[in-house]
């Protein structure tokens, strides 16, 4: 029979045994679960899904559509209009927006956004 080895409320291994009594903290693997799952009161629970990484780059169209949907595009464009002409041209004609682009950080600081808010904007833009 297959058995899970439980340690600190987690399934740490699955082994083949003749009996569940041969070592402590064995449970019948037929109940379900897998290595890395938590074990709470006889219920196997899968680990949470890993976080989706923040995209490092989106198209300018995606970025602007996301800013528009979030009600932030006007504020960004008003701020961009106060910057040197070279930055305005870069914003207007750039095809891709990278998360590490210095202008993204300048806008973030100027508009008082957190890094997490910018990450959420990039994640949202990536779905457009």
The whole-angstrom separation of Cα 92 and Cα 45 is 49
pLDDT in the model for residue 12 = 95
Phi, psi of 22 (to 5 degrees): -75, -30
Contact 61, 54 (CB under 8 A): no
- Region label for 68, one of left (φ > 0), alpha (ψ between -120 and 50) or beta (otherwise): alpha
Q: Rounded to two decimals, what is the model's pTM?
A: 0.67
Q: pLDDT tens, 39-57?
A: 988 899 999 998 889 999 9
Residue 60 has pLDDT above 90, yes or no: yes
According to the model, what pLDDT value does residue 25 have?
Answer: 85
Structure confidence by residue, pLDDT tens digits, 97-120: 999 999 999 999 999 999 999 999
Return the H-helix or E-strand segment holding 58. strand 57-59
Query: Which pLDDT tens digit goes with each residue over 5-31?
Result: 999 999 999 999 999 998 888 999 999
Contact assessment for residue 79 and residue 111, using Cβ atoms and an 8 Å cutoff = yes
């Amino acid at each position: 029979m297959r058995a899970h080895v439980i340690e600190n409320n987690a399934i740490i291994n699955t082994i083949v045994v003749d009996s569940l009594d041969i070592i402590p903290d064995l449970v019948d693997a037929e109940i379900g679960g897998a290595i890395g799952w938590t074990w709470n009161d006889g219920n196997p629970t899968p680990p949470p899904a890993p976080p989706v990484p923040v995209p490092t780059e989106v198209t300018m169209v995606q970025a602007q559509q996301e800013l528009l949907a979030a009600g932030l595009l006007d504020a960004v464009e008003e701020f961009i209009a106060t910057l040197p002409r070279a930055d305005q041209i870069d914003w207007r004609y750039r095809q891709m927006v990278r998360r590490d682009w210095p202008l993204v950080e300048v806008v973030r600081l100027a508009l008082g956004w957190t890094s997490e808010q910018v990450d959420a904007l990039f994640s949202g833009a990536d779905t457009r």
